[in-house]
């Protein structure tokens, strides 16, 4: 293998190793200005957008035993990876696609699971990590509040009875 090709395969392998998830996109028709805008939107979520050669990515996925991506490595391919929250990165891609109709998701991976384009769209509909954390904390807080209310009910009832007795006299 030529040194240039070896470098490209190694670079593609590094992209796959940097994150627990990645998305393959078709970027046909996007110009430099739009690419910069998309990269900026993704970087706000800690993600990166890189154009890759299909042959390099094909070899990198075979090295990692990810043969399921073979069918998606056609046409113009870019890889999106990085960030803490796969859902928020998928949301950025979905919103950008709605706005420009130029960048579409081909497939993705979340951990060891291969995602189709439809599954990536479903992932984009999920609430973000921060929203899920806030919801979880509110559930914990609600349970504690209800427990406190139940535990204090007998004491409140006793005080109410005493007050009613005092008011009678």
Q: What is the pLDDT of residue 139?
A: 75
Fold of 3-126: Alpha-Beta Plaits (3.30.70)
Q: How far apart are CA 98 and CA 106, in angstroms?
A: 15
Positions in the chain short of pLDDT 50: none
Phi/psi region, residue 65 (left: phi>0; alpha: psi -120 to 50; beta: rest), is left
Q: What is the pLDDT of residue 40?
A: 92
* 126 to 121, 132, 137, 141, 142: CA distances (angstroms): 9, 9, 18, 22, 23
Contacts of 133 (CB under 8 A, 6+ apart): none
Q: What is the pLDDT of residue 148?
A: 67
Q: What is the pLDDT of residue 14?
A: 85
- What does the block give as tokens for 164? 């009613």
Q: How far apart are CA 130 and CA 134, in angstroms?
A: 6
pTM of the model: 0.70
Q: What is the pLDDT of residue 100?
A: 79
Q: What is the pLDDT of residue 142?
A: 72
């Amino acid at each position: 293998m030529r040194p240039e090709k070896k470098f490209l395969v190694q670079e593609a392998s590094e992209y796959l190793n940097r994150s627990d998830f990645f998305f393959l996109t078709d970027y046909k028709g996007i110009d430099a200005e739009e690419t910069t805008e998309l990269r900026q939107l993704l970087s706000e979520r800690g993600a990166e957008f890189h154009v890759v050669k299909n042959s390099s990515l094909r070899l990198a996925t075979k090295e990692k035993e990810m043969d399921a991506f073979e069918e998606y490595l056609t046409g113009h391919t870019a890889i999106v990876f990085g960030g803490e929250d796969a859902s928020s990165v998928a949301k950025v891609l979905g919103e950008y696609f709605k706005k420009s109709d130029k960048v579409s998701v081909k497939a993705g991976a979340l951990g060891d699971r291969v995602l189709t384009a439809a599954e990536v769209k479903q992932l984009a509909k999920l609430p973000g990590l921060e929203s899920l954390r806030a919801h979880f904390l509110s559930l914990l807080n609600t349970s504690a509040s209800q427990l406190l209310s139940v535990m204090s009910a007998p004491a409140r009832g006793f005080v109410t009875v005493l007050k009613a007795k005092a008011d009678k006299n």
